[in-house]
Structure 1
């Protein structure tokens, strides 16, 4: 009687165990239950040592060779505005005029003071001449002669000082007109009639840009800069618009930017024959052909193979059926190709399609 309940409890337990055992066996028997994830299809290429028929390009900024923010040389209120934003000016053309009233009064006072100093000087000279005549006749003591000479010298100095003051105020009167320092276009004029201008610190009056004298500033990859020399003529175009121009190299930088591995190159810009006026503007972007890139040392990989992660660059390389991430040092040489200076070897299979979604160690199937 005491064993019946224990037997009854055991039967359900055995039944449950049998069911679970069958479930595990069925799961193990299902096809693909423990199979690995399928390989990702990718396309890979080996790096190229030369880019036959390709043209290396660099993108840069057009900028004016001459640009100046002009200010007044003397303090005063603006009386008249002679040039507006967008106006073309010639060197010496007036931009604004300041109120001359105060300086005109000061100039009148200085001229009066000069007349007075001139009279004093003439009187001192005459007094010295009389004293010298008396001294030669032994009718004047040496001390009296010395005093007359000192008085004449002081009078000469006072006159020179008065004349200098007059010249200074005459110059200040001329400086009340703020003029263009060179031929160009007014691109900014932050002050208007009635504004008071100071000289310390100088108050900006207008910005003048020599719109016709442009240069392009290029960041050229260090691997492509050696053939460029001052005097070389390159061809380029504006972005957007495609306005053609010629660029004559004037300067090749002596240092390499450690972040971009590029060298600064400056070139004077001349619009191509037939280009529309105003097609090239300071501040715009431009693309310049650096010439055939076949002479540049590789290896080269397609631009889409290089993945950017902040300032870092890396590629995926297929090795033994798995993807491996390689950090590289790379620089773009054309819109389609990138030069890899370190990180890949000649025989590496660099993934060029199917990069998205790859992880380090993922199985890949390389398409032929």
Structure 2
């Protein structure tokens, strides 16, 4: 069993060793930090953003969805059974393409009956006309009475009326027969199929919906207290859910004169100004109507660092890297840049895409961009910030590889 004095001595030696190890570790970290600060950070002009005054658009916010201007909700005009649905959701159609075929058995029977009635009425009218002409000739020679002539004329007129009615029923039956074939009213896409083969289609029942994807527009809602600031032709910048950070632009096409009775919001129609608008309807969209603009300092969203409610940026000045605190304001919906209210001045340069290895007070050395050294047809992307340590390691590895590779032919 160890004596108490030996135990105390052992604990003292262990604590001394731990403190010495921690001290050595701290000194090693400080030495590494000092060494890193001595190595310059290699950057190109493409790695930096020049802070300068830019136009910041302002105006009321508008929210809504992307909807087609040309759309058709095709409904049944007959009470019959659906025989066939020829198009599915998402399929493109041309004007006049057959979409749905309805049962036409009873309508064809009605059409045949009407046509036969019209044919019989035509024969009756022909006979009545011959009888009337015959009695008219006899009456002129005094061989028949006026009463018989008037009776023949009446029969001729009644037969003529029956023929007109029979032909009208025939036309109506033919129109009903045409309604059993539901066709596309314009070039577009089937957006929604409502029925399947075997369903009973009542009068007014929805069958299919067809939209024109080239006629998309932004149907947004605006707060009623902002209506006075909106005018037709004003530019609108907005984003569409499902298209990431891609921005779209448009112009105010129409402002409704009546507010919604429930929300008290006013609908605003925005026509796309882009050459390639979204082709999917119903997507949520949000943007801002540009009723005015001001000149202010702007910074790219990629150059901002967030830490809770605080914002920072890495500024490059006099060959040194400095982490500065910023006060940012509104975000420009067109480009996604932020307003700089404090922390930077006009002409400052900041790192466009900062990395986690940057250190406050580190030296900065400007180098030529890759695009200026490599004469290619298309300019490459901006070179990233170069870490000197990784660059030296890569050079040493390349040199070792060259030395270990034997010359050709040996």
1:267 maps to what in 2? 270
Deviations 1:101-152 (A, max 9, x none): 2222222222221221111000000010011112112222222111111100
1:188 maps to what in 2? 192
Distance change in 2, residues 1:248/1:90 (3 Å) = farther
- The 5 A counterparts of 1:1-368 are 53=56, 55-56=58-59, 57-199=61-203, 202-222=204-224, 224-240=226-242, 241-255=244-258, 262-270=265-273, 272-273=274-275, 275=276, 279-291=278-290, 293=292
Unaligned runs of at least 5 residues, structure 1: 1-51, 296-333, 337-368
Deviations 1:243-280 (A, max 9, x none): 3333222212335668867543211234x34x5x7x45
Distance change in 2, residues 1:79/1:289 (3 Å) = same
Aligned residues: 241
2:18 maps to what in 1? none
Question: If each structure's helix is expressed as a fraction of its own residues, which one has the higher value?
Answer: 2
> Aligned equivalents of 2:154 and 2:135: distance in 1?
12
> Aligned equivalents of 1:291 and 1:235: distance in 2?
7
Distance change in 2, residues 1:102/1:248 (3 Å) = same
Secondary structure (helix, strand or coil) at the match of 1:230 reads: coil
Displacement of 1:156 after TM fit? 0.5
> Aligned equivalents of 1:133 and 1:192: distance in 2?
65
Displacement of 1:55 after TM fit? 2.8
2:37 maps to what in 1? none
> Aligned equivalents of 2:264 and 2:87: distance in 1?
44
Deviations 1:153-211 (A, max 9, x none): 00111111111122122222222101122332222222111222222xx2211122222
Alignment TM-score, normalising by the size of structure 1? 0.58
2:374 maps to what in 1? none
Deviations 1:42-70 (A, max 9, x none): xxxxxxxxxx9453343222222233321
Distance change in 2, residues 1:256/1:187 (3 Å) = closer
TM-align CA RMSD: 2.8
Secondary structure (helix, strand or coil) at the match of 1:212 reads: helix
> Aligned equivalents of 1:83 and 1:123: distance in 2?
52
> Aligned equivalents of 1:243 and 1:98: distance in 2?
44
Asked if the contact 1:213–1:269 (Cα under 8 Å) also holds between the matched residues in 2, the reply is no
Displacement of 1:95 after TM fit? 0.8
Secondary structure (helix, strand or coil) at the match of 1:63 reads: strand
> Aligned equivalents of 1:184 and 1:236: distance in 2?
25
